[in-house]
Homo-oligomer: A and B are copies of this chain.
Amino acid sequence: MNGQNNLVDMPLSEFRKYGHEMIEWIADYLEKIEELPVLPNIKPGEIKSKLPQSAPLQSEEFSKMLNDVDKIILPGVTHWQHPNFMAYFSATASGPGILGELLSAAFNTNGMLWKTNPSSAELEETVLNWFRDIIGLPQNFRGIIYDTASVSSMHAIAAARENINLEIREKGMSGAPKLRLYCSEQAHSSIDKSAITLGIGMEGIRKILVDSKYRMIPHELEKAIREDRANGWTPFCVVATIGTTSTTSVDPVEKIVEICERENIWLHVDAAYAGVTAMLPEMKVFFKEIERADSIVANPHKWLFVPIDLSILFTRRPQILKQAFSLVPEYLKTAEDSVVENYMDYGIQLGRRFRSLKLWFVLRYFGVEGLQARLREHIRLALLFAKWIDEDSSFERLAPVPFSTVCFRAKPTGCNDENKLNGLNEKLMNVINSSGKLFITHTKLNNIFTLRLVVSSIRQEERHVEQAWKLIKESLEKLLSENNIEN
């Protein structure tokens, strides 16, 4: 019996039945996830070829879908929830986070206005204030949830644009001065995409040199601003990063902010990955003077066990953001507009899911101390792995480890040819990843093919990092012995 025979929803008896099955399926999946290959062993097109080419005309039983999830979907999933996923910035969804997302889908509200879900508006405000306090931002900061850090940063840069030139909203960029944004060479690609989107253009970004630890050099920033002003550019925004994507390096915000204040330039801090560590007293050293920044992005969906997507933009100048984006057509006016915050006023997206629920559940279920303990453990494990690298003469560490990401490469004794080393490390990564036992990714640092291993999954324990290290070492040995045979 299914929903085809009437014109409403799936009968609730059926929802209960399959809902319980789905909960069991998910628990089983998470329970046995270590038996699955972390990266699927499939070729492009393989999943597609197993799916019908057109939608069914008639209703299908829900059990068929669950069956196809097992047979077709599961073999092609890259398991982000797998403790051996140590690639990119690994991001995991905790149990309470998943249940929060479920509840949010069931309410299915669009919190564009206070009136369209007061609980969403007020829970978002409350939980973001909690989070602001936890990471040590002062009370003049206000948070807004967006989907991704890309979108959070784009809004911050749009606010910076509004801040420098109030006429852009009305007149557009066409007659405006040439705006210049500064970030380090190591800044995330989303900053470039923001510049493209906002009409600033790639040439409107000036990438500042980094030091040997991949941190923006403040003196170079100063010089660039001076040069640009002399050449008719209008500097309007600096994006500093706390935890860059390649190496998790930390730009010296405390020096950059002085330049920004002196020059009247908006400072946006991209702490999408590392921002959550500001809740650890011992990590405050990386967040010096952060309260003088104009805006900061941190992503609980990256390293705080909240399901993707939930990114927070904090700004102490929300009015500027509102000035840039608020626009209230008649059909969205409500009687409460003068006394409430309508979140739609702070961005391009009118549709807003009830995302604060999942963050609320995660913060309460683990508690601040529980979250701190987990972050500390990840950092401890990453430093342990870094120590193993440092102590092994066949490996080399390629960047400091301020958080939980280790950049390294294999460098067997006597092998000094950079091209060969790059080839060896790429091969090593591919061998490891195709084993299905571990997923790590790479970056390039000064043209060096660099392996990255990240510890930030809620399912990662010391044994996983140990196994990873063992696999990496064994794979290298195997590669080297094969090469010897070939030569």
Contact = CB atoms under 8 A, between A and B. Distances in A.
Interface string A168-182: 111111111111000
Interface string A96-130: 11110111011111100011111110110111011
Contact of A148 (B148, B169, B301, B351): B351
B173 A174 contact: yes
A349 B23 contact: no
A196 B442 contact: no
Given A20-B20, A26-B103, A365-B60, A172 B195 contact: yes
A292 B307 CA distance: 39
A101 B102 contact: yes
Interface string A135-176: 000000000000111110010001000000000111111111
A212 interface: no
Copies of this chain, tallied across the complex: 2
Interface string A21-56: 011111101110000000110101111100101111
Contact of A363 (B4, B15, B56, B443): B56
Contact of A350 (B48, B148, B353, B365): B148
Contacts of A373: 7
Interface stretch (A330-338, A385-393, A478-486): A330-338
A190 interface: yes
Nearest to A40: B118
A370 B132 CA distance: 47
Interface stretch (A71-79, A220-228, A253-261, A409-417): A71-79
Nearest to A301: B351
Interface stretch (A61-69, A396-404, A467-475): A61-69
A10 B365 contact: yes
A105 B357 CA distance: 13
Contact of A348 (B7, B190, B301): B190
A1 interface: no
A184 interface: no
6 contacts: A15-B30, A26-B102, A55-B130, A101-B105, A149-B350, A151-B349
Kindly state the interface size class of chain A when it binds its partner.
35 or more
Is chain A's interface secondary structure helix, strand, loop, or mixed overall?
A: helix
B8 A461 contact: yes
A194 interface: yes
Contact of A55 (B29, B73, B76, B134): B134
B44 A118 contact: yes
A367 interface: yes
B56 A367 contact: yes
A334 to B, nearest CB: 9
A277 to B, nearest CB: 16
A43 to B, nearest CB: 9
A327 B192 CA distance: 8
Contact of A151 (B22, B348, B368): B348
Contacts of A200: 172-173, 199
A40 B129 CA distance: 24
A364 B204 contact: no
A102 B22 contact: yes
Nearest to A51: B126
Contacts of A42: 118
A246 interface: yes
A417 to B, nearest CB: 21
Interface string A351-386: 101000100110111111110011001000000000
B9 A330 contact: no
Q: Which of A56, A91, A245 has the most CB of B within 10 A?
A: A56
B365 A2 contact: yes
Given A77-B118, A245-B331, 13 more contacts: A7-B373, A15-B99, A18-B95, A26-B102, A40-B118, A59-B370, A60-B364, A60-B365, A172-B202, A193-B325, A196-B324, A198-B198, A308-B353
A106 to B, nearest CB: 4
Nearest to A328: B189
Contacts of A62: 96, 99, 361, 365
A419 interface: no
Nearest to A87: B116
